Amino acid sequence: MFRELLARPTDGFFVVDAQGCFIEADDTLGQLLGCSPDALIGRPTTDFVHPASRAALCQPINCISTSERRNYRLELLHQDGSVIPALVNTITTRNAADGTISGAAGFITDLRDSRDKPPHAGYVTSDIEATRHHHSQLQLAATVFSESRDAILITDSQRRVISVNRAFTALTGYSADEVVGTEAPLIAASHHAPGFLDQLLDELARTDHWNGEAWSRRRNGAIFPQWLSVSTVRDDQAGILHYVAMFSDLSERKAAEERADFLARHDLLTRLPNRFLLRDRAEQAFAHAVRAETRVALLLLDLDHFKQINDSLGHPAGDALLQTFADRLRSTTRDTDTVSRQGGDEFLVLLTDIRDSDDIAPIVEKIMHTLARPCLLAGQEMSVSCSVGLAVHPEDGTDFDTLIRNADAAMYNAKEAGRNTFRFYSQQMNEDAVQRLDIQNRLRRALERNEFVLHYQPLIDLGDSRIVGAEALIRWNCPDLGMQPPGVFIPVAEDSGLIVEIGEWVLREACRQARAWQDVGHRDLVLAVNLSPLQFARGNLVETVRQALADSDANPALLELEITENVLVKDTEQVLATVRQLHAMGLRLAIDDFGTGYSSLAYLRRFAVEKLKIDQSFVRDLPTDPDAGAIVRAVIQMAKSLKIAVLAEGVETADIAHDLRLLGCDYAQGYYFGRPMPADAFAERLPPPR
C-alpha cells in the first residue's frame, strides 16, 4: 500500500471497512472533498459521492469477492456542493487471519482540468496528461469505429448486437435501430455448407478469432460475399465481454476475379473454352469413360485455306468466320461435349459418352456438313471446309497430350488426303469408317437404282424332305462392289434408318414373287420374310404389309414374318398391338435365330408365335457338342408342348439332318438342302405344280 502510495503522491489515499466507511484518509483526499482527513473517518463513502455515481461506488464493495482490483469513474461531491469528476482505483483488503474481506484501499484521482484545480503542492501534471491521453485514445477509437469503411458490429457475450457503425448500414441496408438488441446475423447460413457456422463459432471459442470469406444477406434479400473477421473481447477474468465483427464487401472483387478466371480459361474472340479448360474437361471425361466403359473422341478441326481468306478479305472477315464456325460447332454438338478454340484456325472438340466407335464417323460427318454450309463473309457468300483429325480414348491414348498429338497426326493425314475430310489416328478405324460411309452413301442410291435382289433358300419338311417354302434373303448387287451379302449393309442401313425403306421394298418384292409362284400353281408355298426391329419401332409396318398384300393379291396365310427375340422382349403395347393386327390379317410369325437372345417362354405364348427357328450355331455343333444337342432337344420338346413348329437353321450335312429327324424336328433349312438362290433357280427346284 505504501509503495503504491509513494508512487502516486498526487492521488488521494483512503481505506474503507467492509461497510464502506472511511478508516483512513490522507490530506490530499481531505482537500479534494473539502474537509480534514480526520473528519472523514467513520463516515460512509456514499456521503461524498454524487447520487448518480453511487451505484458505481457500491459495486466494487459488492463485487469485492470476485474482483481484487477495480478502476472506475465517479463524480465526487465536495463539501461545498460542487461535483468533481474522479477516477477511483481500489484494491480489496483481507484479514490476515482468515482471509475474509476487511474492506478496500485505494486512490482517487482528480480528473478536472488543472486550471480548475486548487493549487496543490507536488501536483504532477504528467499524470493528468496520461489520463487525458487515455481519453483521446477513446475518442480516436470512437472515430475509427464510426468512420471505418469496413462494417463493424459489436455484440455482447450472447451475440446480441450492441452497436453497429455507418458502414454497416451502408453495406447491409440495416439501420442501427433495426439490429441493436437482435441476435447478430453474421452469415447467411443457408448459403454455406452445413456446419459452417458451428465451425466458425468453434474456432472463435478456441482462438478468440476467425476470419475468412462468408456469404451474408442484405436487407433487400440479396446475398453477397464478404471478408469477415470476428474477434472475442474478454475481461480480466477471461470472461467474454463482446464479440467484434468487421467485414467488407467482396462482390466487386469476386466479379473481377471471375472475369479474370473466365479470361484465363476462354478464348476471347469466340468465347469458347481454351486449351486449359479443355484439358480439365478431357481429364474428367476420361475418368468417367473408364468407369462407364465408354469412349471419348478428340477431334482436331483445322479450317481449309484460312490464310487465303484472311489475306484476301481482311482480318475482320477472318474473325467473323471463326465466330461463325464457333457458333455452328456449339450448335451441332451436345451440351456435354466441349468445343474449344486452340488459337489460329484450329478447334478441338471433345465427344463424350460414345458407346460404339462406329458411332463417331457419322457425328463427324454431321459436324463437317454443318460447318460447310455457305456463310456471308465481307458481303460474299462462301462455303469453307475443314479437315479433321481424330483420336479415340482409350484406343489411341489414355492421356490428353498423347491424344492431342495423335489427333494432330491424323489431321495432317486429312490435309494430305486433299482436305475437306477426316481421318482417324488408328488405321483400322479409318478403314472401317471409310467403308461404312462409302456403303451408306451408295445405299441411298441403291433403292432408286433398283440394285437390290431377293434370293430364296428352300425350307424343307424333314418328314418327307419336300420343299414347303422359301426364305427371302436380300442381296445388294452393287455395280462397283459386286454382289453384297446382307451382313455388309444391313447394320449400316439400320444405323442410318434406311432399313425401313429397304424393308418395304423386300415386302413388296416378296409378295410379288409369292403371287407369281401361286399363279403358276405352287399354291402352298410359304414365303418367309425377315423384319428388322427398326421396322417395328419406326415404320408403319401393318400398313406396309397390307399394301404389299393388296398390290400383289398374294395369300396372307402363306406369308411368314421372321422377327428376332429382342423385338418381343421389349414387349411394349405397340409391339403387341402390331402383332395382333398382323395375326388378324392372317399372317404367321416365326422367331428367327432362337437361342441367341433372351429365349423367354412367356412371350412365345403371349405373342402366339407359329414357328421357332433354332439358330445355326446350335445346329452346326449338334454332332460334336453334347450341350448343343441338349439345347436343340430341349427347344424341340418345349416347342412341341406349346404346339409351336420348329425349324433348324444351317443344316449342312446329311448326318445333322438325320439327327434332327430323330429328335422330332419339323423343318430344316441349310446348304445341305439348298443355298439361297435367285428366284428362277429356286423355281426349277420345285416339283411340277399339281
CB of 614 to Mg ion, least distance (A): 9
What crossing angle do the helices spanning 400-416 and 275-292 adopt, rounded to 10°?
100
3-state DSSP assignment of residue 386? strand
**What residue 565 binds from Mg ion, ligand C2E, none (CB within 5 to 8 A, per partner kind)?**
none
List 473, 525, 587, 635, residue binding ligand C2E (CB under 6 A): 473
List 530, 552, 555, 564, residue binding Mg ion (CB under 5 A): 530
Residue 226 found at the interface with Mg ion (CB under 5 A): no
Task: Mark the segment that binds ligand C2E (CB under 6 A) among 116-124, 158-166, 440-448, 479-487.
Answer: 479-487
Residues with Cβ within 8 Å of 365's Cβ and at least 6 positions away in sequence, in order, are 422, 437
CB of 447 to ligand C2E, least distance (A): 13
* Smaller CB separation from ligand C2E, 487 or 688: 487
Please state, in angstroms and rounded to a whole number, the distance separating the CA atoms of residues 592 and 530.
8
Please state, in angstroms and rounded to a whole number, the distance separating the CA atoms of residues 386 and 420.
5
Beta-bridge partners for 104: 16, 92
Residue 593 found at the interface with ligand C2E (CB under 6 A): yes
**Footprint of ligand C2E on 621-650 (CB under 6 A):** 649-650
* Smaller CB separation from Mg ion, 400 or 456: 456
Half-sphere exposure of residue 375, counting CA atoms within 13 Å on the CB side? 20
CB of 271 to ligand C2E, least distance (A): 47
Task: Mark the segment that binds Mg ion (CB under 5 A) among 59-67, 135-143, 351-359, 558-566.
Answer: 558-566
3-state DSSP assignment of residue 21? strand
x/- site string to ligand C2E, residues 121 to 140, per CB under 6 A?
--------------------
User: Starting at the edge strand that comes first in sequence, how are the strands of the sheet with 22-25 ordered?
Assistant: 22-25, 12-17, 101-110, 83-94, 69-77
Residue 304 found at the interface with Mg ion (CB under 5 A): no
CB pairs under 8 A, 24+ apart, for 462-468? 462/657, 462/660, 462/661, 462/665, 462/666, 462/667, 462/668, 463/661, 463/666, 465/673, 466/687, 467/525, 467/673, 467/674, 467/685, 467/686, 467/687, 468/524, 468/525, 468/526, 468/667
What crossing angle do the helices spanning 306-313 and 315-332 adopt, rounded to 10°?
140
The dihedral region occupied by 532, where left means phi > 0, alpha psi between -120 and 50, and beta the remainder, is beta
Task: Mark the segment that binds ligand C2E (CB under 6 A) among 178-186, 460-468, 524-532, 660-668.
Answer: 524-532
Smallest CA-to-CA distance from 480 within 517, 445, 521 is with 445
Residue 535 found at the interface with Mg ion (CB under 5 A): no
Residue 530 found at the interface with ligand C2E (CB under 6 A): yes
CA 370 to chain CA centroid, Å, is 28
Smallest CA-to-CA distance from 621 within 644, 653, 597 is with 653
**What residue 676 binds from Mg ion, ligand C2E, none (CB within 5 to 8 A, per partner kind)?**
ligand C2E
Task: Mark the segment that binds ligand C2E (CB under 6 A) among 12-20, 310-318, 486-494, 622-630.
Answer: 486-494
x/- site string to ligand C2E, residues 389 to 408, per CB under 6 A?
--------------------
Residue 676 found at the interface with ligand C2E (CB under 6 A): yes
Residue 669 found at the interface with Mg ion (CB under 5 A): no
x/- site string to ligand C2E, residues 599 to 618, per CB under 6 A?
-----------------x--
* Residues 299 and 407 sit within 8 Å (Cβ to Cβ): yes
Residue 504 found at the interface with ligand C2E (CB under 6 A): no
Q: Which residue has the cell 469477492?
A: 65
Residue 486: is the preceding peptide bond cis (ω within 30°)?
no
* Smaller CB separation from ligand C2E, 337 or 509: 509
Radius of gyration of the chain from its Cα atoms, rounded to whole angstroms: 49
CB of 672 to ligand C2E, least distance (A): 6
* Residues 389 and 411 sit within 8 Å (Cβ to Cβ): yes
Residue 560 found at the interface with Mg ion (CB under 5 A): no
Residue 458 found at the interface with ligand C2E (CB under 6 A): no
Strands (E), 250-336: 295-303
List 110, 562, 565, 659, residue binding Mg ion (CB under 5 A): 562
**Footprint of Mg ion on 564-623 (CB under 5 A):** 592-593
What is the number of the residue whose Cβ is closest to ligand C2E?
670
Residue 490 found at the interface with ligand C2E (CB under 6 A): yes
Tell me whether strands 295-303 and 161-164 are parallel, antiparallel or unpaired.
unpaired
* Smaller CB separation from ligand C2E, 165 or 457: 457
* Smaller CB separation from Mg ion, 53 or 530: 530
Residue 92 found at the interface with ligand C2E (CB under 6 A): no
Residue 486 found at the interface with ligand C2E (CB under 6 A): yes
* Smaller CB separation from ligand C2E, 231 or 547: 547
630 exposed, middle or buried (CB, 10 Å; 0-12, 13-18, 19+)? exposed
Residue 566 found at the interface with ligand C2E (CB under 6 A): no
**What residue 490 binds from Mg ion, ligand C2E, none (CB within 5 to 8 A, per partner kind)?**
ligand C2E
* Smaller CB separation from ligand C2E, 215 or 672: 672
Please state, in angstroms and rounded to a whole number, the distance separating the CA atoms of residues 265 and 267.
7
How many chain residues interact with ligand C2E (CB under 6 A)? Answer: 24
* Smaller CB separation from ligand C2E, 595 or 650: 650
The dihedral region occupied by 376, where left means phi > 0, alpha psi between -120 and 50, and beta the remainder, is beta
Please state, in angstroms and rounded to a whole number, the distance separating the CA atoms of residues 190 and 176.
24
Helices (H), 449-585: 486-496, 499-519, 533-537, 541-552, 565-570, 573-584
How many chain residues interact with Mg ion (CB under 5 A)? Answer: 5
* Smaller CB separation from ligand C2E, 101 or 488: 488
- The CB density around residue 638, as the number of other CB atoms within 10 Å, is 15
**What residue 506 binds from ligand C2E, Mg ion, none (CB within 5 to 8 A, per partner kind)?**
ligand C2E
- Residues at the site binding ligand C2E, with contacts judged by CB under 6 A: 457, 473-474, 485-487, 490, 503, 506, 530-532, 562, 592-593, 616, 649-652, 669-671, 676
